[in-house]
Amino acid sequence: MSTQAGTQQRWKQRPPGSNWGDFGPDDELGRLNLLTDERRLAAIQEVKEGKVFILSLPLDFPGDGTEEGAARHPPRLYSNPSPMGEGHMCNASMTENDICCDDSVDLTLQYSTQWDALVHWGRQFDSQGDGKKQPTYYNGYRAGVEVLCGDETKGPFAHKMGIEKMAETGVQGRGVLVNLVKAYGSGRTWITHDMLMKAMDDQGVEVREGDMLLLYTGYCDAVMAMNKQPDDAKLAEAGAVLDGNDEKLLDWIDSSGISVLIADNQAVEGFATDLSAGPNGLLPLHDRCLFKLGIHLGEYFWLKELAEHLDNVGRHAFLLTAPPLRLPGAAGSPATPVATV
Ligand code: UVW
């Protein structure tokens, strides 16, 4: 277990299997550090056709669900008050000739196509080695110290590892897509290490250090087909999910050197609907990726058109550009990722 100069104050011991401190004592980027200039240049070499694929759902999908009082909801637009003193800025007359629309939005940051920031998932952990567990995030950043919840006057704010840190890297590199629909169909299948390796072998997918790995499961195809009237029971049967309880799979995610992990489903991994937690928590893949390794997770990406095109032309790699909003202090963000093939 390594303790590096500078990390002593924040943590004295790091979780087994974590890489805390390896990218520097105050690192806030995790595996995004692997998206280097050289790797971006190599990723650009993957552009052969000049075609682009937009990997975002319309951000008002999946649509209001059947779940009562759901915390996440579709964006709500409203027109800003007119600076002219009266009315709102919807088709508003500015002068005798000019009209204008000008909106605000109430935006759930993790509703639709989204990135999880590294502060999205942490755990109670004894980082001081004194037998006391404290709520802790990647690289030992602490709830209540760096990650604040706000009060009546101001909202929550992550002073470290907010989503803006991700945006500032540009999030550009080599994307590689594994087509799990082709391998296992579009129903709910729990994908183990061996199943993922088989799909990759069969499809000739080669993962290099720093790659952004995308998994096409078909879940968002079902979401789109429901046309903003999601049927939660049917969605629970749709699309593959990674089996976060398969330690071999989590170990491979670590050793593969991927920079980020993306899927077109709800949480990349499957979760128990009764919210029962195992030894690695409720969401063991979130725990390994976000808390231990600093691997950002992308969810609800729209991958159908890209996956079908890659399959038709017999390819799996492309240039991916996928920054979130540069929104200081946030725990997640929508994105409009672009794959260039
Ligand atoms: C949870 O639902 C807790 O996380 P995510 O948005 O990453 O799926």
Asked whether the CA dihedral 125, 166, 339, 62 is positive or negative, the reply is positive
How far apart, in whole angstroms, are the C-alpha atoms of residue 143 and residue 180?
37
For a substitution probing ligand 1, which of 266, 271, 273, 333 has the most ligand atoms within 8 Å of its CB?
Answer: 266
Residue nearest to atom 1 of ligand 1 (CA): 267
Give the per-residue pLDDT at 2: 46
> pTM for the whole thing?
0.96
How many A from CA of 266 to the centre of ligand 1? Answer: 7
- The set of protein residues with a Cβ atom below 6 angstroms from ligand 1 is 110, 116, 120, 266-267, 297, 299
Helix, strand, coil share (%) of the chain residues, nearest 5: 25, 25, 55
For a substitution probing ligand 1, which of 73, 110, 219, 223 has the most ligand atoms within 8 Å of its CB?
Answer: 110
Give the per-residue pLDDT at 7: 57
Give the per-residue pLDDT at 327: 98
Give the per-residue pLDDT at 280: 84
Give the per-residue pLDDT at 86: 85
- pLDDT means per 10 residues, the chain with 341 residues, are 58 97 97 98 98 98 75 93 89 94 96 98 97 98 97 95 98 98 98 98 98 98 97 96 97 98 98 77 96 98 98 98 98 98 98
Residue nearest to atom 8 of ligand 1 (CA): 267
Q: 3-class SS at 249?
A: helix
How many A from CA of 210 to the centre of ligand 1? Answer: 24
Token representation of residue 150: 């706000």
Give the per-residue pLDDT at 5: 52
Contact 290, 255 (CB under 8 A): no
Closest C-alpha to 41, from 210, 206, 205: 210
Beta bridge partners of 248: none
CATH of domain 31-62+111-119+161-340: 3.50.30.50
Give the per-residue pLDDT at 276: 73
Which numbered atom of ligand 1 lies nearest the CA of 332?
6
How many A from CA of 110 to the centre of ligand 1? Answer: 8
